[in-house]
Amino acid sequence: NFMLTQPHSVSESPGKTVTISCTGSSGSIASNYVQWYQQRPGSAPTTVIYEDNQRPSGVPDRFSGSIDSSSNSASLIISGLKTEDEADYYCQSYDSSNHQVFGGGTKLTVL
Amino acid sequence: EVQLVESGGGLIQPGGSLRLSCEVSGFTASRNYMSWVRQAPGKGLDWVSIIYSGGSTYYADSVRGRFTISRDDSKNTLYLQMKSLRAEDTAVYYCARDFDGSGNYPYYWGQGTLVTVSS
């Protein structure tokens, strides 16, 4: 079964840049769109990146997405970290049946 | 404004049935791809089911044959009928809409409804 692997947790200081990776277990991650979701404690997820690198209106341009075919991975990059960015982040793509698959999530701590 | 409001969750015994509803406003559900995604307590997001704008339906292996996704276009409401519930179905269930009517991914999310399967 296709899986997306994310680091369990990352931490960085305010003002710095953090990269959260999402690695596909097989196939080419570049052949399907990747989305990224932010989930603060006790809240529903919200979309921060869709279709690899598109930002919904209202999401600051400090958030960006990229794809690296050589490592079969996607990345969420957050620059100029703020304490409000502290949350869980999930990537999402698709398996061979075109069913949605989510990564296990990464807890971002801004300290 | 796009809004999705889930309801119908609660405490149910193993083997029981429950129907979740997702009432939407600000758009027409039948023109979009509508998904159910769940999250067990303390765990990550887990795709459950999707209904395409054309009516095709798909399910995760873990729920196929037990859950049924549907919509009532006259009520602009999405449903998830759940049968033969198991303890491992305990989760917050979110309904979600795609971005523009052609995307197989959640973009707008509801606030979720909690289903607890326990005796």
Provide the pLDDT for residue B114: 98
- Chain B hits for A90, Cβ within 8 Å: 44-45
End-to-end CA distance of chain A: 36
pLDDT reading at B32 higher than 90: yes
pLDDT above 70 coverage of chain A, percent:
100
Token pair for B91: 């989760």
Interface residue A24 vs chain B (CB under 8 A):
no
Provide the pLDDT for residue B25: 96
- Is A50–B94 a contact, with Cβ atoms under 8 angstroms apart? no
Interface residue A59 vs chain B (CB under 8 A):
no
Token pair for A93: 């793509």
Provide the pLDDT for residue B94: 98
Calculate the average pLDDT of chain A.
96
The tens digit of pLDDT for each residue in A76-101 reads 999 999 999 999 999 999 999 999 99
Provide the pLDDT for residue A50: 97
**Phi-psi domain of A15 (left: phi exceeds 0; alpha: psi -120 through 50; beta: other):** left
- Is A50–B99 a contact, with Cβ atoms under 8 angstroms apart? yes
- Is A35–B106 a contact, with Cβ atoms under 8 angstroms apart? yes
CA distance B21 to B29: 13
- Is A100–B47 a contact, with Cβ atoms under 8 angstroms apart? yes
Mean pLDDT of B60-86: 98
CA distance B5 to B94: 9
Torsion sign, CA atoms A94, A95, A100, A103: negative
Mean pLDDT of B39-65: 97
What pLDDT band is residue B101 in, cutting at 50, 70 and 90? Answer: confident
Contacts of B31 (CB under 8 A, 6+ apart): B53, B101
CA distance A8 to A103: 10
pLDDT reading at A73 higher than 90: yes
CA distance B49 to B111: 17
CB count in 10 Å sphere of residue B78: 28
Residue B60 CA neighbour count, 13 Å, CB half: 18
CA distance B51 to B3: 18
